[in-house]
Structure 1
Amino acid sequence: MSLRTPRVPVSGIPALTLALVAAACLATGEASAAFHDPIDTPAAMAPNAAHEPMMSIAQAGKRLVAVGPRGVILLSDDDAAHWRQVPSPVSSDLVSIMFATPQHGWAVGHDGQVLQSADGGATWHKQLDGMQAAKLMQSFYSQQTGASPDLKAAQDEAARFLADMGGRPFLDVWFDNDRSGWVIGSFNIIFHTQDGGKSWEPWFDRVDNPNALNLHTIRRIGSTLYIAGEQGLLLRLDEGAQRFVALKTPSKSSFFGLVSSGSTLIAYGLLGNAVRTDDNGETWQKITLPTGASILAGGQLADGRLLLATQAGELLVSSDRGTTFTRLGAPVPGAVFSLTTRGSEVIVTGAAGLSRVDLPAAGATK
């Protein structure tokens, strides 16, 4: 059975914080009386999933793939007109998805879940969960010797991760190709793979994040890999040193996402906070936005315009590489957690499910 996606007028788009993820999970239905560990329990069929909260969306070639609460994974092969659910090996909440190639994709979420597909999202298998990650991190750092503060902090955090029974979420994933990638999450938890996820190495000690702040998003912008997190944390990978180094920004407000246009990079997040750089993160300028709502998603249209979307369902557009933004139309119902663009259309995931948004032509944005 397929689910038809509603088409809505110009609207907005917000995305995810842990609180919003929790709210989305509660909205999906009543819990079963009998407990089944979501780490190992396949997702149940959800006939109305396209109209219930969904957390993230990605393009796998011409196909669209979306993930959400309780391990739900949906596919569309007709530009989001209809959706169908495919089997998922877990019922943990999935919060982020990306495809490095039209065939190879990864999804991550609560309970430290990392799922992988090699056939464009049609089938999925589990590569890692929180307990496995905690044991891997503890084993890796217990074998390291030395007196560096980074190593000591990594060993201490590994012990806490294990004591938590691996109960920490991965919040985002990035792969450069079908082999090299990263998963990131709460309390500076980060793992790297060079073989497509068959094996993982913790990078906790390779991140300039002494307070173990949450890592919210990871993206390669141009040739540079960035991480954004809470309390204004922005990091850039030093390829030579193989270390994520901290960048100075004019904000201590949490960042939830990154978007770019040409040489411009924008970090956006809590309560309408956004900053931009044109020099690879060396200097930043604060952007004045027509909203005070948290910005939770961003993207770029085919014509180069930038989009930001808020927790209030507002869609903001810029035609000058993020120097200024204008609000478009009326907001969509509820928060929107993720978006992807196709031509002049935006497909969004949010509290009200999946929908397509028609945008006006570039000349109509002023």
Structure 2
Amino acid sequence: MYKKIIWLAALYTAVSATSFLARAADSVQPDAAYQMPLATEALLTDIVSVQQQRLVVVGERGHILFSDDATSWTQAQVPVQSNLTSVFFIDKNRGWAVGHDATILMTEDAGATWHIQYFAPEKDKPLFDIYFSDAQHGVAVGAYGMFLRTNDGGKNWQPHFHAELLSDEDREYLDELKDTDPDSYQSESEALLPHFNRLFADGNVLYIVGEAGFVAKSSDKGASWQRLDAFYNGSLFDLIRTPQMSLLAAGLRGHAFLSNDQGDSWQQIALSETATLNSAFADPSGAVYLVGNAGSLLISRDGAADFTDYSRADGKAIVNGLVWREQLILVTEAGIKSINLSELK
């Protein structure tokens, strides 16, 4: 188990480490994010389409931007300067963002202003993803198995330790500590689980992927989990369902895998890129996209069997993206990039 917090480990090699420094643990009161005229050119980490009407992106130093045309962007009012890692909307007005300092933010006005629901810099752990099954029930996950749950729309967030997600060896170790050294049991239980990098909701099933090939799924909205057999010993950073109904996992050093049996078995996809893949997504036409470090951009139009390389010459890390009104919108270490789909035929 690594002994320091990481987020998208290989992305640290592409972006200055100072961009990811968390707020000191003894700083209790957060400072509001600065309004920066060049925020659209800074490191951005996630993007969502809010009911096809608005785009919302998040990034470093508490930057949140929104746009209704993918051309002009407005910086939101945000009460923290923590680096943000993921954003999720449940409807056209209500959304959440998570990030470093164990930060959870909420908006009720389509991303224009945000308020703090959870902020715990003393934990010295980032949150990496968040998902709500409805307006009341949500989960947030992050480094070292950090897992938070709410049943009241985020008014209260409670930490949960899911021992069923431990490896057999670690579970036996903790069981022994619980009886012999309760203090060590508490500290070790907060460090033994892998980093949880991404959540993926597939109908009624919720998946987590993470460090060291970790994959787990839940059939009860995250109340209990089944850890799947490992098929890769490197970190996984995303999981999606392709339009052809396969599961696609992507991660370190250009590794990507397909499963046609709900995750029971996986087959590696042969790719031309060896850079870390940060995200995967699909568009309404059935195309599947893989994006990653060193400008990696791979597109498949045959159900992820084969990918064509459209990697960008600037070599900037691409963290995530989506298709919006005949444009591919990417969030990168150098801000927002737009590509007309006609250029990718």
TM-score by length of 1: 0.78
2:242 equivalent among 254, 257, 261 = 261
Letter in 2 for 1:50: T
2:327 equivalent among 328, 345, 356 = 345
Number of aligned residue pairs: give it: 311
Alignment of 1:13-24 (within 5 A): 17-18=8-9, 20=11, 23=15
Is contact 2:206–2:222 with CA below 8 Å preserved after alignment?
no
Counterpart residue number, 1:282: 264
Q: Does 1:111 find its partner at 2:93?
A: no
Q: CA deviation at 1:25?
A: 6.7
| Comparing 50-59 and 108-117, the one that deviates more | 50-59
Return 5+ residue gaps in structure 2 as ranges.
1-6, 168-191
Task: Give the Cα separation in 2 of the matches to 1:21 and 1:126.
Answer: 27
Give aligned-pair identity as a percent: 31
Letter in 1 for 2:285: D
Q: CA deviation at 1:212?
A: 0.9
Counterpart residue number, 1:202: 159
Higher relative contact order structure (alpha carbons within 8 Å, sequence separation ≥ 6): 1
Task: Give the Cα separation in 2 of the matches to 1:253 and 1:172.
Answer: 19
- CA gap 1:289/1:193 in 2 versus in 1, 3 angstroms: same
Task: Give the Cα separation in 2 of the matches to 1:99 and 1:265.
Answer: 23
Q: Deviation per CA, 1:264-311, whole angstroms, max 9, x where unpaired?
A: 111100001111112211221111111111101211112011100120
Counterpart residue number, 1:13: none
Q: Does 1:53 find its partner at 2:43?
A: yes
Letter in 1 for 2:39: A
Q: Deviation per CA, 1:113-156, whole angstroms, max 9, x where unpaired?
A: 0000111101110000125xxxxxxxxxxxxxxxxxxxxxxxxx
Task: Give the Cα separation in 1 of the matches to 2:78 and 2:222.
Answer: 38
Counterpart residue number, 2:18: 26
Is contact 2:206–2:221 with CA below 8 Å preserved after alignment?
no
- CA gap 1:206/1:122 in 2 versus in 1, 3 angstroms: farther
Is contact 1:39–1:111 with CA below 8 Å preserved after alignment?
no
2:306 equivalent among 297, 320, 324 = 324
Task: Give the Cα separation in 2 of the matches to 1:68 and 1:186.
Answer: 18
Q: Does 1:72 find its partner at 2:63?
A: yes
Q: Does 1:180 find its partner at 2:137?
A: yes
Q: CA deviation at 1:209?
A: 2.6
Task: Give the Cα separation in 2 of the matches to 1:280 and 1:320.
Answer: 19
| Comparing 174-183 and 205-214, the one that deviates more | 205-214
Counterpart residue number, 1:149: none
Is contact 1:271–1:295 with CA below 8 Å preserved after alignment?
yes
Counterpart residue number, 1:357: 339
Q: CA deviation at 1:20?
A: 3.1
Is contact 1:249–1:284 with CA below 8 Å preserved after alignment?
no
Alignment of 1:293-312 (within 5 A): 293-312=275-294
Task: Give the Cα separation in 2 of the matches to 1:166 and 1:357.
Answer: 39
TM-score by length of 2: 0.83
Counterpart residue number, 1:193: 150
Is contact 1:24–1:351 with CA below 8 Å preserved after alignment?
no
Q: CA deviation at 1:36?
A: 10
Return 5+ residue gaps in structure 1 as ranges.
1-15, 29-34, 132-164
Counterpart residue number, 1:215: 196
Counterpart residue number, 2:182: none
- CA gap 1:104/1:331 in 2 versus in 1, 3 angstroms: farther
Task: Give the Cα separation in 1 of the matches to 2:221 and 2:287.
Answer: 33
Counterpart residue number, 1:334: 316
Q: What SS does the corresponding residue of 2:165 show, helix, strand or coil?
A: coil
Task: Give the Cα separation in 2 of the matches to 1:119 and 1:206.
Answer: 37
Task: Give the Cα separation in 1 of the matches to 2:248 and 2:270.
Answer: 12
- CA gap 1:110/1:18 in 2 versus in 1, 3 angstroms: farther
Task: Give the Cα separation in 1 of the matches to 2:326 and 2:313.
Answer: 17
Is contact 2:46–2:85 with CA below 8 Å preserved after alignment?
yes
